[in-house]
Amino acid sequence: MSEAERESMSFDVVIVGGGPAGLAAAIRLRQLSPQTSVCLIEKGSEIGAHIVSGAVIEPRALSELLPDWKERGAPLNTPVATEDMLFLTETRSFRVPALDKFMPHMANHGNYIVSLGEVCRWLASQAEELGVEIYPGFAASEVLIENNRVVGVATGDMGITRDGKQGPNYQPGMELRATYTLFAEGCRGSLTKQVMQHYDLRKGVDPQTYGLGIKEVWEVPPEKHRPGLVQHSFGWPMDDNTYGGAWLYHFGENLVSYGFVIGLDYSNTWLSPFDEMQRVKQHPAFRKHLEGGRRISYGARALSEGGLQAIPRLTFPGGALTGDSAGFLNVPKIKGTHTAMKSGMLAAEALVDAMSTERVEPASYVQLIKESWLWDELKSVRNIRPAFARFGMKKGAVYSAIDAMLLKGRAPWTLHFRHQDNEELLAASLCEKPAYPKPDGKLTFDRLSSVFLSNTNHEEDQPVHLRVKNQGLWRTVNWDVFHSPESRYCPAGVYEVVNETSEPALHINAQNCVHCKTCDIKDPAQNIDWTVPEGSGGPNYPAGM
């Protein structure tokens, strides 16, 4: 469509994404500069609809942002009471003793088990009170760049039919122009990706490495509920070369959050993160918590694991990257909410500074980050995730204990990531097929019944938002070499191979997509491009996620 038809509106700041980073930035902006007009858009149907996290959060950044969060009714209601780190074998579990010494990053004293979706809904209400304009249900699909400066974003057109024509309900997108644009899309944001390419923001930094988290929320009988209990595990069923582990948190009203994270640098093409996640539940250490309960929700999301070494240049003319769009997750701590919020707050400070001096690029952001606790935190744990990548799980664990106990995170060296996750897969003929048990429908489930619980919906009559750039490449690389890894790593059953024996072809059930972004990351030839579908499409995660 011609751009002349689009309506346009101007703001001081436009924020893309309504997660902890974007909302914290919005709040900070209005706190520091109440006359600044701030518009935040979110592709989910409402704030929180696309938020998936464990989540145990550290309230440090929140306390800096809204010191009276308790009085304001923030949904941080379950303080961590007890925690265990378990090493699993197939049938047994061993508790890591003196956790706060060996794995000090994992110590959760003073932290809270929350539904991050609920926290975001609450943050949104705080932001709206401060005068931030929040528009959920609209996906930013285009970065507006003029004279090499980002001048805002445009939302996608609505009502485009599957074959790309304007349907009867066609509504053109809208230009949201801004002096500064903050990208807070979370891990592997689709616009962040374009901005990184345009300004070559990844030049000179390690390739980003990712993880995929898959989560279920269970409702358990009251007599089984132990609010405040935190349990993590490593070991079985992952082999020594695969980074991954499970979590289980008791929180809220008889709710249990269970989930599994796997490093997307795994090499076995036959591996299925979804099935790994399902089978960990059969381990006695997890089964005993969930049996007798019922599963009420399901979701998945990729996360950045590269840490400090993989953080790109954070600013560009007309804006900045925040939160997991930049990769601020602290992997050994397995927490990113406090760092995301902190980065959003610092970006806000930098924007206010840039506005007062009319600078094109809010460059003071980088300085503010480097002077903050956020940087110290990421710096001290920078070698841990790459140690696991290089030495394997067991030796990696030993290294991380030494790093934490003896070196106190101040090692004079820095370990690096060498490859992108999509380069790590081995050919199907070189890998062993794991034997995954069949779902029993009580404790373990299949993909489709899981996606059903994520309340995922996309308008049916719209172009497929998962774009396979070169179909031929799928056949020669994905099928002939790797035997369609996307049909296994996708936690939502989006990718399906049809006519396997005669003329194999990839069928894409785009309507199932839970927006986790794994395909965009892990596709061996980087041939799958995740683009935003029509706004408000995707999962509708309920409270508890």
Whether omega for the bond prior to residue 207 falls within 30 degrees of 0, making it cis, is: no
Residue showing tokens 């010191």: 67
Per-position DSSP letters for 375-432, written without gaps between them = HHHHHHTTTHHHHHHHH-HHHHHHHHHHHHHTSTT--S------S-GGG-PPPGGGSP
Chain center to CA of 169: 32
Closer to other proteins by CB, 372 or 512: give it: 512
Per-residue exposure over 235-249, b if at least 16 CB sit within 10 Å of its own CB, e if not: bbbbbebbbbbbbbb
Q: How far is the CB of 74 from other proteins (least distance, A)?
A: 14
171 binds other proteins (CB under 8 A): yes
Residues 269, 477: Cα–Cα separation, whole Å:
12
What is the amino acid identity at position 204? G
Q: How far is the CB of 538 from other proteins (least distance, A)?
A: 10
What is the four-CA torsion angle of 379, 383, 385, 391, rounded to 10 degrees? 180
237 binds other proteins (CB under 8 A): no
Residues 538, 49: Cα–Cα separation, whole Å:
8
Contacts of 248-253 spanning 24+ positions with Cβ under 8 A: 248/286, 248/289, 249/54, 249/55, 249/56, 249/113, 250/78, 250/113, 250/220, 250/225, 250/226, 250/289, 251/77, 251/78, 251/113, 251/114, 251/115, 251/227, 252/77, 252/78, 252/113, 252/115, 252/227, 252/544
Active site residue 513: yes
19 binds other proteins (CB under 8 A): no
Closer to other proteins by CB, 18 or 173: give it: 173
Mask: binding to other proteins, 524-543, rule CB under 8 A, as x and -?
A: ----------------x-xx
- Which position among 53, 155, 181, 209 bears the catalytic label? 53
- Which position among 456, 516, 518, 536 bears the catalytic label? 516
- Which position among 337, 364, 454, 536 bears the catalytic label? 337
H helix and E strand count, the chain: 17, 24
Q: How far is the CB of 160 from other proteins (least distance, A)?
A: 12
43 binds other proteins (CB under 8 A): no
Q: How far is the CB of 438 from other proteins (least distance, A)?
A: 12
Among 18, 19, 46, 211, binds other proteins (CB under 8 A): 46
- Which position among 39, 120, 187, 513 bears the catalytic label? 513
The tokens for 215 are: 């989560």
For 196, phi then psi, to 5°, come to: -60, -40
97 binds other proteins (CB under 8 A): no
Chain center to CA of 529: 17
Closer to other proteins by CB, 79 or 137: give it: 137
Active site residue 516: yes
Among 166, 169, 197, 471, binds other proteins (CB under 8 A): 169
362 binds other proteins (CB under 8 A): no
Residue showing tokens 């990706």: 193
Among 83, 118, 216, 265, binds other proteins (CB under 8 A): 118
The tokens for 40 are: 């935040």
Closer to other proteins by CB, 158 or 354: give it: 158
Helix (H, G, I), strand (E, B) or coil at 109: coil
141 binds other proteins (CB under 8 A): no
121 binds other proteins (CB under 8 A): yes
Among 7, 163, 223, 358, binds other proteins (CB under 8 A): 7
- Which position among 115, 372, 490, 536 bears the catalytic label? 490
Q: Return the sign of the alpha-carbon dihedral for residues 450, 452, 457, 461.
A: positive
Q: How far is the CB of 302 from other proteins (least distance, A)?
A: 23
Among 62, 96, 132, 158, binds other proteins (CB under 8 A): 158
296 binds other proteins (CB under 8 A): yes
461 binds other proteins (CB under 8 A): no
Residues 249-268 that bind other proteins (CB under 8 A): 254
162 binds other proteins (CB under 8 A): no
Among 84, 133, 291, 446, binds other proteins (CB under 8 A): 133
Residues 219, 205: Cα–Cα separation, whole Å:
43
Residues 10, 195: Cα–Cα separation, whole Å:
20
Active site residue 337: yes
The tokens for 159 are: 């009502």
How many positions of this chain bind other proteins (CB under 8 A)? 33
Residues within the interface to other proteins (CB under 8 A): 7, 9, 45-46, 49, 115, 117-118, 121, 133, 135, 138, 155, 158-159, 168-169, 171-174, 219, 254, 296, 452-453, 455-457, 540, 542-544
Active site members: 53, 301, 337, 490, 513, 516, 519
